[in-house]
């Protein structure tokens, strides 16, 4: 059983740092890059690539802060975050089985949200990353988006939301409420009200897998699978349906 020493106060500090860096730090970092390079780097790789790599840098900073709290402040091994290979094959199979059961529920939730939106005459806005993928013509940017979305983001987000946040919440609440609260925060930070329910359901599954296995292996694998499946559909819509995304 994983027993962490960090608490909600530590979790709050991490998320204040995350929000500050994303909303205030990102424009500053981008401006510094432009000042140093004289916009040459923008001409070379494009503005979207710069924003993507700054986002990656910020996520790495936040994860570094998490590791500082766990390993330096509380002198606990990183395995306390769930970074272990405990029963890796068994946990991967468990994750795949549970995801195959959950994905129809996620799709049904998306279908219901679309029905409600259409009934009230509301057109959901696409997330920026979805717009970028559908509109972007640069192969470099598309490959960067795919790599970040399918490999980097799932791994870093699982460390932050399951390994760190859910563990901190569990010190103050039961495991069930810790999963629900961490899933709600996980869905909220994506800042897409129309996708909140689907992301929340995914978060419940990821939190359950972490709680059951006491390792991030299953949740990381499922997160990668989900993001990869989403990107496959988006690429299909981009190249075969000319960017028209059908309603599920």
Reported as a single tens digit per residue, the pLDDT across 129-173 is 777 777 778 788 888 888 998 999 999 999 999 999 999 999 888
> Does residue 1 sit within a domain?
no
Sorting pLDDT into bands at 50, 70 and 90, what band is 246? very low
Provide the domain count of the chain.
1
Distances (CA, A) of 9 to 57, 61, 168: 24, 19, 9
Q: Give the C-alpha separation, 52 to 50, whole Å.
A: 5
> Does residue 182 sit within a domain?
yes
Cβ-based neighbour number of residue 14 at 10 Å: 20
Q: Which domain holds residue 93?
A: 8-240
Q: What pTM, to 2 d.p., does this model score? A: 0.90
> Does residue 2 sit within a domain?
no
> Does residue 185 sit within a domain?
yes
What is the chain's mean pLDDT, rounded? 88
Task: Pick the range with the lowest mean pLDDT from 45-49, 168-172, 175-179, 189-193.
Answer: 45-49
pLDDT tens for residues 39-95?
677 666 667 778 888 888 999 999 999 999 999 999 999 999 999 988 999 999 999
> Does residue 211 sit within a domain?
yes
> Does residue 234 sit within a domain?
yes
Is residue 92 within 8 A of residue 225, CB to CB? The reply is no
């Amino acid at each position: 059983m994983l027993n962490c020493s960090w608490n909600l106060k530590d979790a709050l500090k991490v998320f204040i740092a995350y929000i500050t860096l994303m909303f205030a730090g990102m424009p500053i970092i981008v401006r510094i890059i432009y000042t140093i390079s004289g916009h040459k780097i923008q001409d070379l790789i494009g503005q979207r690539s710069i924003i993507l790599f700054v986002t990656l840098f910020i996520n790495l900073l936040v994860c570094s802060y998490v590791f500082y709290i766990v390993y330096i402040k509380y002198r606990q091994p990183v395995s306390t975050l769930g970074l272990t290979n405990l029963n890796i094959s068994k946990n991967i199979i468990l994750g795949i089985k549970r995801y195959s059961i959950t994905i129809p529920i996620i799709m049904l939730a998306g279908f219901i949200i679309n029905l409600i939106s259409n009934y009230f005459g509301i057109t959901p806005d696409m997330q920026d990353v979805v717009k970028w993928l559908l509109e972007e013509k640069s192969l470099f940017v598309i490959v960067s988006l795919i790599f970040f979305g399918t490999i980097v983001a799932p791994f870093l987000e699982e460390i932050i939301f399951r390994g760190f946040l859910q563990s901190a919440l569990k010190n103050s609440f039961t495991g069930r409420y810790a999963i629900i609260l961490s899933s709600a925060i996980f869905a909220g930070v994506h800042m897409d009200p129309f996708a909140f329910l689907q992301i929340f359901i995914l978060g419940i599954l990821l939190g359950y897998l972490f709680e059951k296995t006491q390792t991030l292996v299953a949740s990381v694998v499922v997160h990668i699978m989900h993001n990869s499946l989403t990107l496959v559909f988006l690429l299909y819509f981009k190249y075969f349906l000319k960017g028209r995304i059908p309603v599920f």
